[in-house]
Amino acid sequence: MAQYDYDLFTIGAGSGGVRASRVSASYGATVAVAEERYLGGTCVNVGCIPKKLLVYAAHFSDDFEDAAAYGWTVGERRVDWAKLIANKNTEIRRLNEIYRKLLQDSGVTIFESHAEVIDPHTVVVDGKTITAKYILIAVGGWPSVPEFPGSEHAITSNEVFFLPALPRKMIIVGGGYIGVELACIFHGLGVEVTQLYWEALFLRGFDDDCRKSLAVEMGKKGIDLRFNADIEKIEKRGAALHATLNAGTTIEADLILYATGRVPNTNSLGLDNVDVQIKPGGAVVVDDYSKTHVDSIYAIGDCTDRMMLTPVAIAEGRAVAETLFNNNPMKPNYLNVPSVVFSNPNLGTVGLTEAQARERYRDIDIYKTTFKPLKHTLTGRDERTMMKIIVDHATDKVLGCHMVGPDAGEIIQGLAVAMNCGSTKAQFDATIGIHPTAAEEFVTMRVAVQPPM
């Protein structure tokens, strides 16, 4: 008779939890997963996928305007928000069922309910006590709104994907990638957008040239960016919301959205029952192999507050499965993880920022270019693309690649492969570009714009 009901019990069926569960099952483990909200987690339901669909929708406003320069006559146009959301919801339901089928076809038992840990090998689901050799916490994060007078009138990114109608005027508070992306999305859909951030420049942690370039481009498009600004109180007057800022000014809006961070969704898991260490913000403390200080309990994804990206959670999930059930101890690789902000234009990045490189290396070379995309030589649109390469002067190794411009994510993905192969600037230079493309600029920058420092 088996000592436990399952070899692995996963709490959370987001991207990381599903990957860990499926791979573990493929190695012969008996696996169950509990999900109390929706299969696919944040990414599928209120994150990456619906956001990218809205990004596509928002781009049509520019495309319609640019079409005239290419001989097209475009008639009257308007956004049918209800239709867009209905189509988005249909796609999300399809993906939910794909996740369900993936788990079922892998032999994973699904509990669509809340799970709570009561000891190192036991969880309670729907009043049932279930034992497992290992427990994996993969519950992700949840958006939060700070408490201040009137904060109950603000919404988060969770609700924004289900709005009954487009607002006329909107305030977005926060300067992370979610706030920036939503500002560009709603501006592209015709909403008058004001974005507030309490520091001097948004997207902290990204390369400074990228941050500055994107701020300029968003400003050109008409987004009202206000830095060193924050809301002190919100008052509801009829149907309108009035936000009083720290400078004493007041802005009226139909909708106020807070994108000021996400917190690990660990409050109601019963982790205090097993003394799993939790950071002050709620993140689960884990080692390099995603193990908590309780040997039978592991944690991956956003609830560990390491690198909050869906592909990273997936890599962490696979590493746990390899470690536990394939006799192949594996650490996730956080080196040269590419990422993109789906703003308009995109911001793509991989490797070190200039500031990080200057901290870690004695001398670095900076290669940078800005140019008008070929498309806009006909449209006349005042938009500039920025590209940047950071190189270790001593070894010629490429340390970072950064871009603000159309399709930055598609371009940076390939550069991430090159960087993980240890590419040098000389190898970039020896690569023949595809002409005419924006991407070829990454292999044609020959002269450093800044000498070693």
Q: How confident is the model at residue 451 (pLDDT cuts 50, 70, 90)?
A: low
Quick one: 99 and 82 in the same domain?
A: yes
pLDDT mean over 257-268 = 95
Residue 412 CB contacts under 8 Å (≥ 6 apart), including other chains = 338, 340, 348, 349, 350, 401, 403
Q: How confident is the model at residue 1 (pLDDT cuts 50, 70, 90)?
A: low
**pLDDT at residue 95 in the model:** 97
Indicate the residue among 260, 278, 307 that finishes a domain. 260
Helix (H, G, I), strand (E, B) or coil at 420: helix
Q: Is residue 334 domain-resident?
A: no
Percent above pLDDT 70 for the chain: 99
Percent above pLDDT 90 for the chain: 98
C-beta atoms surrounding 126 within 10 Å: 11
CA distances for 10 relative to 46, 236, 244, 267, angstroms = 21, 43, 44, 16
- Is residue 452 pLDDT above 70, yes or no? no
Quick one: 270 and 136 in the same domain?
A: yes
Q: Give the DSSP per-residue string, 89-122.
A: HHHHHHHHHHHHHHHHHTT-EEE-S-EEEEETTE
CA distances for 31 relative to 133, 311, 325, 387, angstroms = 10, 22, 11, 46
- Residue 247: which CATH number? 3.50.50.60
Q: Mean pLDDT of all residues in the chain?
A: 96
Residue 421 CB contacts under 8 Å (≥ 6 apart), including other chains = none
**Spatial CA neighbour of 356 closest among 312, 402, 319:** 402
Quick one: 14 and 122 in the same domain?
A: yes
Quick one: 284 and 394 in the same domain?
A: no
- Is residue 296 pLDDT above 70, yes or no? yes
**pLDDT at residue 305 in the model:** 86
Quick one: 133 and 271 in the same domain?
A: yes
Work out the angle between the directed axes of helices 48-67 and 81-105 (0-180°, nearest 10): 140
**Cβ atoms of residues 188 and 359 within 8 Å:** no
**Cβ atoms of residues 178 and 258 within 8 Å:** no
pLDDT mean over 28-41 = 96
**pLDDT at residue 232 in the model:** 98
pLDDT digits (tens, 9 = 90+) for 63-98: 999 999 999 999 999 999 999 999 999 999 999 999
Quick one: 248 and 268 in the same domain?
A: no
Known catalytic residues are 435
CA distances for 108 relative to 5, 25, 31, 68, 89, angstroms = 13, 7, 5, 53, 26
- Residue 425: which CATH number? 3.30.390.30
Distance of CA 234 to the CA centre of its chain: 28
- Is residue 206 pLDDT above 60, yes or no? yes
Quick one: 16 and 129 in the same domain?
A: yes
Quick one: 204 and 89 in the same domain?
A: no
Work out the angle between the directed axes of helices 15-26 and 310-325 (0-180°, nearest 10): 30
Quick one: 286 and 352 in the same domain?
A: no
Quick one: 60 and 96 in the same domain?
A: yes
> Distance between CA atoms of 84 and 379, rounded to whole angstroms?
27
Both tokens assigned to 216: 């300029």
Range of the structural domain that residue 56 is part of: 6-141+263-325
Total number of domains in the chain? 3
pLDDT mean over 328-341 = 96
pLDDT mean over 212-241 = 97
pLDDT digits (tens, 9 = 90+) for 93-134: 999 999 999 999 999 999 999 999 999 999 999 999 999 999
- Is residue 428 pLDDT above 70, yes or no? yes
Quick one: 345 and 381 in the same domain?
A: yes
Q: Is residue 450 domain-resident?
A: no
| Side chain identity at residue 373, one-letter code | P
| Side chain identity at residue 316, one-letter code | E
Q: Is residue 155 domain-resident?
A: yes
- Is residue 301 pLDDT above 60, yes or no? yes
pLDDT mean over 416-426 = 98
Q: Is residue 188 domain-resident?
A: yes
